[in-house]
Structure 1
Amino acid sequence: RDFMKAVGLAGAGLGASAAISPVFHDVDEFMSSPTAEWKRHWYVKNRELEDPTVELDWSLMYRSDGIWTGQNNPTQDFFLGAEEGAKRRAAAAAYSANAVKTNQSGMTLRDRALSSGNYMYPITFMGPASSTTPESLGVPKWQGTPEENSKMIRAAMIHFGAAQVGMAEITDLVKTKLVREYDKDFTHKKYMFEDVPKGYEGADKLVFPDKVPLYDFAFTHPLNKEMFRSSPSSDIGSAGNSLRYSQFSIIQPRIQMFMQVLGYTCYGYTRPFNGAIPTIATATLTGLGEGARNNGAFISPEFGPCVGLFSLVTDLPLEPTPPIDAG
């Protein structure tokens, strides 16, 4: 608690919260606020850890290569052929150019402007470098129980812009089955576990510490359902979809800086689309929602299928939240 006071979180509210009731005098009160708790609907039941409602055969799973997604041109060309892939992309570009000129609904100049406004800030695996650390402040790093840490992270993440947060320990099963083998970015760096006290980003790899306990925290970002109803192939649909990535590019460095000042590390995405663990998998395992048959393969009890999902990795001990059964 003395550490929280040392970093300036005593005697003042957090952001806009200071202007309304209640006023938080320190992070202890912040952690006791309703945002630090997770109140679900009565019909949402907890299951055992790593046991979601959709039955899993872990023996069939393997670490994936993030670049193998239909969103990447090389993947399209692999299955369609380079000539056909280029032909389809050219047709899509011509369609988009003509739509804005003909004032097509959902693709007008104003729709394009709204979509273009979802600027994505540069982000990194290790996060912004901060000169503020427990050492620089002359205090020991924050030490809390996993339960305390989880409440603190949930409240902080919601303050930073997340809707809800689920947590899990990165077990050997997750390391060997779910953590991607290669990043989704065009640099195609390999995710590796090494015997180091702290992870790092190398020229051709993204490294996690192998013998340091790691935890994953996933979170939701609700999306505009009305905008999604105009998809596919519209700028207004793109505006609704890409806002999550724009918001995430702000949320990630915020929580990375927060953890650095506490004395911990938060390992992030290399770009707003590229996480170490497939987000539907971790969002399901941390109880944010359930696997489903819709095209997003995920449904949240609070937000339905129209929701953005992200997950980050940290060495701050967290209390796992189990998968759910929402009926």
Structure 2
Amino acid sequence: MSTFHSTVSRREFMRALGLTGAALGTAGLVAPVFHDLDEVAASTDSVGPKMPWYVKKREAYNPTVPVDWSLVKPFDSDERKSWPYEKRPATPPEVFEEQMLKIDPKLDWKDPRRQAMQNGARASFSRSHTYGAWLGDLGATTPEKANYPSWQGNVDENHKLLTGAVRFFGSQGVGPLERDDKFMKMMFKKNGNTTYTFDSSISLAEERKLAGNVTERAIPSSYNWAFVWIFRQPMDATLRQAGGGGKSTRNPLGLAENWAMAISYNRLDMVEDRIQKFLRGLGYHGVAGGMSANLPGNSMAIMSGWAEHVRMGQPVSFPRWGVTVRGTYKMITNLPLPAGQPIDFGNYEFCKTCEICSETCPSGSIQRGDPTWDGNPVGNPAQQYGFLGWRTEFQTCPHCPICHRMCPFNALETDGYSFVHDVVKATITNTTVLNRFFANMDRTFKYSELPESGYWDVFDKHPVWGWDSRT
């Protein structure tokens, strides 16, 4: 007779998870109770995205990743040019391919359907000259041009209106912040050949040519708010991405990140353009400029209450979608908005014991071990400092992107609406006791290892745009 049975009672097990008695009823595992509509309106939960019931809010600018704000300063590309770092050779493409063949032995890099999807996904990439423009479409209709009143609302009404618009345009929502001292520490001072300044003498944003090829982007001081808007990649295609490090005999097309990535950047440009036109139609303005403009979008996503910092460094993780979000684009605006707050759903702590992404990274670009204040020992001129986290070594990372598909937080949402997955997430949020166990379960059962070779079997069953709008 087997004796492999735990002597821990059910109550003791639940107590270890923090899910017994008062904890189950009052520790944030049930929806808050409101007695009337005034309490609903006054609730801070109205600021920021609607989150699963297990997600906890934190104080402003106090995310789960520790930040020493005295060390954080605006990114200046001129300062980073003199930062010494070790130049590392690129990893041969065959290394990435061998790693993928371990996951999907039937993968055929030469399958013509792969390139056909890539062609289609990129078809209308930035067809409009206003896509990716910092100022947007200056020809859009405004109250001044058409003689109608500007929109007037309080910060909560503005946030609700903006959220509805960006969701209609195709984004999952917005995370707002107010411009203050800590916000300005996240702001770019200079990025490449572009400088960013706030100017109290202007009412509309301006782009100015400086000496050489340097451009100054001047923002009116009345632009006191910013928001990040979120865009998911098609889930199934993302979890089947085949890693690659460039063209090779086996992979003549050189595809790595697949059409899930390509279609997302296409759509991101369109949504950004529409948001700017929407703001102009209200009588307000927003400066954008694509992925690398103004300030880091992932930092905005963390501070405004959408995501947590995770081991991959550059991507951030979301409670519902893991690291399958492609876009955290951002705008600075004169539309008054409330300030969001960081959240805690246990992902940062989970990363300390998981390490699946760094174990499977063919180029060794993802930092191993505990989080650090300084980043990788070899240094990197693009690294930011002032937070106890992980940094990816970008001079060796070809965006293959095996790490994106391997994260256990992706797998927890893939089969729909199973309650057991919410229990797992609630457990991770409330205690670290079982983090190693959950990570090992993912290693053993390989929840996130969906083969690309099986993608075409369900190709005609995917939801419109590639993700379920209910999630």
Tell me the TM-score normalized by structure 2. 0.51
Query: Would the aligned equivalents of 1:227 and 1:236 in 2 still touch at CA under 8 Å?
Result: no
Query: Would the aligned equivalents of 2:48 and 2:304 in 1 still touch at CA under 8 Å?
Result: no
* 1:193 aligned partner: 198
Is 1:80 matched up with 2:87?
yes
Note the C-alpha offset of 1:137. 2.5
Is 1:292 matched up with 2:301?
no
* 1:244 aligned partner: 264
Query: Would the aligned equivalents of 1:147 and 1:319 in 2 still touch at CA under 8 Å?
Result: yes
Secondary structure in structure 1 of the residue aligned to 2:191:
coil
CA distance in 2, matches of 1:107, 1:113: 11
Name which of structure 1's ranges 140-149 and 194-203 shifts more when overlaid on structure 2: 194-203
C-alpha distance 240-194 of structure 1, shift in aligned 2 (>3 A): same
* 1:261 aligned partner: 281
CA distance in 2, matches of 1:41, 1:252: 26
Query: Would the aligned equivalents of 1:215 and 1:316 in 2 still touch at CA under 8 Å?
Result: yes
Secondary structure in structure 1 of the residue aligned to 2:115:
helix
Query: Would the aligned equivalents of 2:225 and 2:332 in 1 still touch at CA under 8 Å?
Result: yes
CA distance in 1, matches of 2:292, 2:313: 19
Query: Would the aligned equivalents of 2:243 and 2:256 in 1 still touch at CA under 8 Å?
Result: no
C-alpha distance 160-213 of structure 1, shift in aligned 2 (>3 A): same
Secondary structure in structure 1 of the residue aligned to 2:190:
coil
The 5 Å alignment of 1:4-15 reads: none
CA distance in 2, matches of 1:141, 1:322: 29
**Partner amino acid for 2:334?**
D
CA RMSD in angstroms comes to: 3.2
**Partner amino acid for 1:48?**
E
Is 1:208 matched up with 2:219?
yes
Secondary structure in structure 1 of the residue aligned to 2:61:
coil
- 1:247-271 CA-to-partner distances (Å, cap 9, x unmatched) read 11101110111111111111011xx
Who wins on radius of gyration, i.e. which is larger? 2
Query: Would the aligned equivalents of 1:294 and 1:305 in 2 still touch at CA under 8 Å?
Result: no
Q: Which of 187, 190, 208 lines up with 1:182 in the alignment?
A: 190
CA distance in 2, matches of 1:110, 1:147: 46
CA distance in 1, matches of 2:195, 2:284: 23
**Partner amino acid for 1:120?**
F
CA distance in 2, matches of 1:290, 1:140: 40
The 5 Å alignment of 1:89-238 reads: 105-116=108-119, 117-118=121-122, 119-121=124-126, 122-130=131-139, 132-175=141-184, 177-183=185-191, 188-195=193-200, 196-203=202-209, 204-210=215-221, 212-228=222-238, 229-233=240-244, 235=255, 237-238=257-258
Structure 1: tracts of 5 or more residues without a match: 1-35, 97-102
**Partner amino acid for 2:226?**
D
Name which of structure 1's ranges 296-305 and 107-116 shifts more when overlaid on structure 2: 107-116
* 2:73 aligned partner: 62
Structure 2: tracts of 5 or more residues without a match: 1-46, 98-105, 210-214, 245-253, 346-428, 430-471
Note the C-alpha offset of 1:198. 2.0
Query: Would the aligned equivalents of 2:75 and 2:191 in 1 still touch at CA under 8 Å?
Result: no
Equivalenced residue count is 267
- 1:99-133 CA-to-partner distances (Å, cap 9, x unmatched) read xxxx9724543322322332431321000012521
Query: Would the aligned equivalents of 1:46 and 1:323 in 2 still touch at CA under 8 Å?
Result: yes
Secondary structure in structure 2 of the residue aligned to 1:312:
strand
Note the C-alpha offset of 1:278. 0.8
**Partner amino acid for 2:144?**
E
**Partner amino acid for 2:332?**
V
Note the C-alpha offset of 1:66. 6.2
* 1:316 aligned partner: 335
Query: Would the aligned equivalents of 2:223 and 2:332 in 1 still touch at CA under 8 Å?
Result: no
Secondary structure in structure 1 of the residue aligned to 2:161:
helix
**Partner amino acid for 1:183?**
N
CA distance in 2, matches of 1:105, 1:215: 48
Question: Identity across aligned pairs (percent)?
Answer: 25
Note the C-alpha offset of 1:182. 2.2
Is 1:39 matched up with 2:50?
yes
Query: Would the aligned equivalents of 2:48 and 2:175 in 1 still touch at CA under 8 Å?
Result: no
Tell me the TM-score normalized by structure 1. 0.72
C-alpha distance 297-249 of structure 1, shift in aligned 2 (>3 A): closer
CA distance in 2, matches of 1:38, 1:266: 20
C-alpha distance 138-40 of structure 1, shift in aligned 2 (>3 A): same
CA distance in 2, matches of 1:292, 1:322: 18
